[in-house]
Amino acid sequence: MTRDTNAQTRFQTATLGYPRIGKSRELKKALEAFWRGQSNAETLIQTQHEIELSHWQTQQNAGIDRIGIGDMSLYDHVLDWSIYLGIIPERFAAFSGLERYFAMARGNEGIPALEMTKWFDTNYHYLVPEIPEHLQPADFSDFLATVRRAQDQLGDRAVPIILGPVTLLRLSRFEMNQSQAASELCDRYVQLLQELKELGVAEVQIHEPALVFGDAANFKENYQATYQSLSQIGLAIQLVTYFDDLGDNYSWVMELPVAGVSLDFTRGRNLELLQQYGFPEDKQLGAGLVDARNIWKIRPDVLQSTLDIITGVTTNLRLQPSASLQFVPYDAQRERKLPEPLLQVLSFAEQKLEELQLLATHLRQPQEAETSLEAIRGQWQAFQDFSPVNQGVQERLQRLSSQDLERPLPYEQRLQQQPVLPPFPTTTIGSFPQTSDVRKLRVKLKRGDLSQAEYEAAIDAEIAKCIQFQDEAGLDVLVHGEFERTDMVEFFGQQLSGFAFTEYAWVQSYGSRCVRPPIIYGDVARTQAMTVREFKVAQSLTDKIVKGMLTGPVTMINWSFTRTDISRREQAMQIALALRDEVADLEAAGAKMVQIDEPALREGLPLKPERWDEYLSWAVDAFRLSAAIAQPQTQIHTHMCYSEFGDIIEHIERLDADVLSIENSRSNNETLFEITDAGYKNQVGNGVYDVHSPAVPATEQMVQQLKTGVANLPVSQIWVNPDCGLKTRSWDEVIPSLKNMVEAAKVLRQEVELTQK
């Protein structure tokens, strides 16, 4: 490979963000203590700063040349930028400081929070900015204070991370005219860059992931005008994109007046675009070569091929992760219970820093890096020997036909055989509060302080209390509460071959909510029934219907770290076969309703619409493969949250679920309107209150939500349920909320009876 004579000085390393929650989830614990009133604001902020400092030190010690700073957040970075920029909806104007911050994030009594939805195609949730008619004054003081702390620790290695103005606009809701909002916000970004320049900052990262959306060209003039203004300040702007390629926008993006452009080379077609169009000589390429969205080590031979192409076009490089490292855990070396061949090919945030340095060494002095690269090749070979193909699974996949995806009867005929319930039947999405006592049961089982029989008896006691409460509250269709489940994906993965689980590999989903995504490393197969025991216990305690509760194959794929050696489609179909067997076993155990949740179906959509049909084709097929084994009299439910259905409604219909429960309260009924506008014929669970807020919804509030449903759907199609599961709420919140929900359904039943007389 030919190298530029000055390459050694040019091959820098950089980061675009880092995990936020602390290695031991210190931020989660500090937040929840603050919310409970057990600590004060000073303690919370001190914890945040301590975590932030440790992150900077880790990156500094790893030798990273340019360290992205300013991405640390108490809840969500998009919320942070809304507040910095004065984007404060009127309903929060009476609050200030942290009270305002958390009111916007979580709501307050009678005041709904900002809408929460998925950040691009990740499992991270952000809070949607609402740009009011009049902005509050901008206040960058907290961000500037962070920059000063970082400069004290890192010197000129510190590079402030700024959420891009056009991306923020693209993701927002508007009361203000959009053109006016763009102008006013641009002025505020100019002010910020001026203030950063006064602090001695020479360079900033401005993150514009919206450039990879399929509609980015619609904002071309906005990008051009905005960056023309920002470039006048005199700071070197690193324009950062990730999650996909620039597509048809490549050429004009390269003409923007910035010092560098970062591209993700782990997803999409950026490598082809680079070869086709070249790269500007006056810009630096931020080469996103280390995958920030998955936990596998680099594959040296694949990366060598990619590097040959890139350095054949430009050697003015920065070697980077493909995106912020917030999407991966901290340190694979903390994991002591994973099989050695698997552990040796894992790369979390700290290992990815090492990989960046290894790649830089390889480009500067190839011979020095060769020993390390050869060791990685050997580790991958050992892993391949450790995880062979499951021939039984492969044979089942090969035997599948289109008939395996079809329910025995169409919906209208199935409906006649399914359970008869009162108008506005009430139910929940599945999970009930995971109290500290419930979590301690799992710890005791793990430590050996409880036998399996003792643990199951304790779980059964929780199920009994949950069933009794639901019965007494008047719910029509009950659930067992999911007390045995740490997480809706982890629980199933732990009982399937081909999945591995970590002890410390937590990542942030939103706020204080953290998850440990499973690792799919081999072919997936079910070895025994996974949910039947708990279902039988619950159903034995009531004459009412208890739903069997499963997590769907697409959600399990989208919320796991997946294999890279086979397609996501094949992995989803393997999981679907396992769930298909579970549905059959639940039916045999007496289940009249089975819920197969797919909250993550939409978040897996490719960011470019031209790729949607391919994804949705196999995603819907995987769900149908799971459910089609059910007899006509068995009612199949599914649940989806944070989804916009209008543009994929034909695929939602093809799921052929008997009941679709939706998140609705935070989206101002938009999800409901999209479904009804499309003429959706199956039943709909109209989410009537936001479970992510600690506020207890009043009966009247839910009555109004249901009346909106009645105005748009026939009564026969409407179910009544919360937006999502109740796992993260306390019983003190759940009990009055569900009682109010049942009362709201009764009010609507009475009104319907009166209109029918």
Gap between the Cα atoms of 725 and 429, Å rounded:
5
Q: How far apart are CA 662 and CA 641, in angstroms?
A: 6
Instruction: Classify residue 68 as exposed, middle or buried by CB count within 10 Å of its CB (0-12, 13-18, 19+).
Output: buried
pLDDT of residue 646: 76
Per-residue pLDDT tens digits for 333-347: 999 999 999 999 999
Task: For residue 576, give the nearest of 624, 613, 617 by alpha carbon.
Answer: 624
CA distance 210 to 322: 15
Q: How many residues does the chain have?
A: 757
CA distance 512 to 55: 18
467-472 long-range Cβ contacts below 8 angstroms, 24+ apart? 467/538, 467/541, 467/542, 467/546, 468/541, 469/735, 470/428, 470/542, 470/544, 470/738, 471/542, 471/544
Separation CA 427–CA 438 (nearest Å):
22
Residue from 87, 51, 44, 42 nearest 69 by CA: 51
Please answer whether residues 696 and 737 qualify as being in contact, where contact means their C-beta atoms are separated by less than 8 angstroms: yes
Annotated binding site for L-methionine: 429-431, 482, 597
**pLDDT tens-digit readout, 283-332:** 999 999 999 999 999 999 999 999 999 999 999 999 999 999 999 999 99
- Cα 705 vs. chain centroid, distance in angstroms? 27
Select from 121, 26, 115, 120 the least CA-distant residue to 74: 26
HEC states along 502-515?
CCCCCEEEECCEEE
Of 25, 76, 121, the residue nearest 562 (C-alpha)? 121
Enumerate domains of the chain plus CATH numbers. Answer: 425-484+525-756 (3.20.20.210)
- Residue 269 phi/psi, 5° resolution? -115, 25
Beta strands in 416-540 (DSSP E): 477-478, 496-500, 507-510, 513-515, 519-526
Interatomic CA distance for residues 173 and 82, integer angstroms: 12
Give residue 615's pLDDT: 96
Per-residue confidence (pLDDT) for residue 668, from 0 to 100: 65
Distance in angstroms (rounded) separating the CA atoms of residues 32 and 436: 13
> By the 8 A CB rule, do 748 and 426 touch?
no
Do 407 and 632 touch, CB atoms closer than 8 A?
Answer: yes
The pair phi, psi for residue 507, each rounded to 5°, is: -135, 155
Q: 649-669: string of b/e by CB count within 10 Å (b at 16+)?
A: bebbbbbbbbbbbbbbbbbeb
Q: Taking each helix axis from N to C terminus, what angle separates 568-588 and 612-627, rounded to the nearest 10 degrees? A: 20
Report the distance separating Cα 177 and Cα 181, nearest Å.
6
**pLDDT tens digits along 228-282:** 999 999 999 999 999 999 999 999 999 999 999 999 999 999 999 999 999 999 9
First to last CA, the chain: 85
Residue type at position 382: A
* Confidence at residue 658, expressed as pLDDT on a 0 to 100 scale: 97
Give the side-chain half-sphere CA count within 13 A for 297.
Answer: 26
Q: Under DSSP, is residue 657 helix (H, G, I), strand (E, B) or coil?
A: coil
Which residues participate in the annotated binding site for L-homocysteine? 429-431, 482, 597
Query: In sequence order, which ranges of 510-667 are alpha helices (DSSP H)?
Result: 532-539, 553-558, 568-588, 612-627, 649-654
Q: What are phi and psi of 496, to 5 degrees?
A: -115, 140
Which residues of the chain have a pLDDT value below 70? 1-10, 642-644, 665-668, 756-757
Is the entire prediction scored with pTM above 0.85? Answer: yes
Residue corresponding to tokens 């599948």: 400
Question: Can you say which residues are annotated as belonging to the binding site for Zn(2+)?
Answer: 639, 641, 663, 724
Residue range 112-168, pLDDT digits in tens: 999 998 899 999 999 999 999 999 999 999 999 999 999 999 999 999 999 999 999
Known active-site residue 125: no
In the annotated binding site for 5-methyltetrahydropteroyltri-L-glutamate, the residues are 25-28, 118, 513-514, 559, 603
Report which DSSP code applies to 200. T
Q: Could you say which of 207, 480, 651, 692 is catalytic?
A: 692
- Binding site as annotated, residues: 25-28, 118, 429-431, 482, 513-514, 559, 597, 603, 639, 641, 663, 724
Residues 6+ apart with CB under 8 A from 302: none
Burial class of residue 587 in the structure, from the number of CB atoms within 10 Å of its CB (0-12 exposed, 13-18 middle, 19+ buried): middle
pLDDT at 4: 40
